[in-house]
Structure 1
Amino acid sequence: MSSSSTTPQSNAPAITRISVIGAGTIGASWAALFLAHGLKVTLHDPGPDAESIARTLITQAWPALVTLGTAAPDIPWGALQFEADLEQAVAQADFVQENAPEREAFKIDLYKRMDAAAPEHTILASSTSGLHMTRLQSQCAHPERCVVGHPFNPPHLIPLVEVIGGRQTSNDTIERTMAFYRQTGKRPIRIHKEISGHVANRLQAALWREAVYLAAQGVASVEDIDTAITEGPGLRWAVFGPHMTFNLGGGQGGMARFLDHFSGPIKSWWDDLGEAPLDDATRAILLEGLTQESDGRTIEALAHERDEMLLRVLEAKRRHTE
Structure 2
Amino acid sequence: MPDSALEAATRQIRAATADPALRPIVHTFFDEATFTATHVAYDPATRATAVIDSVLDYDAASGRTNSASAEAIVAYVREHKLKVEWQLETHAHADHLSAAPWLQEQLGGKLAIGADITRVQEVFGKIFNAGTAFARDGSQFDRLFHDGETFSLGNIPAIALHVPGHTPADMAFIIGDAAFIGDTLFMPDYGTARADFPGGDARRLYRSIRRLLSLPDETRLFLCHDYKAPGRDTFAWETTVGAEREHNVHVHEGVSEDDFVNMRTSRDKTLDLPHLIMPSVQVNMRGGHMPEPEDNGVSYIKIPINRL
Specify if TM > 0.5: no
More strand by share: 2
TM-score scaled to structure 2, two decimals? 0.29
- Structure with the larger helix share: 1
Higher relative contact order (CA 8 A, sep 6+): 2
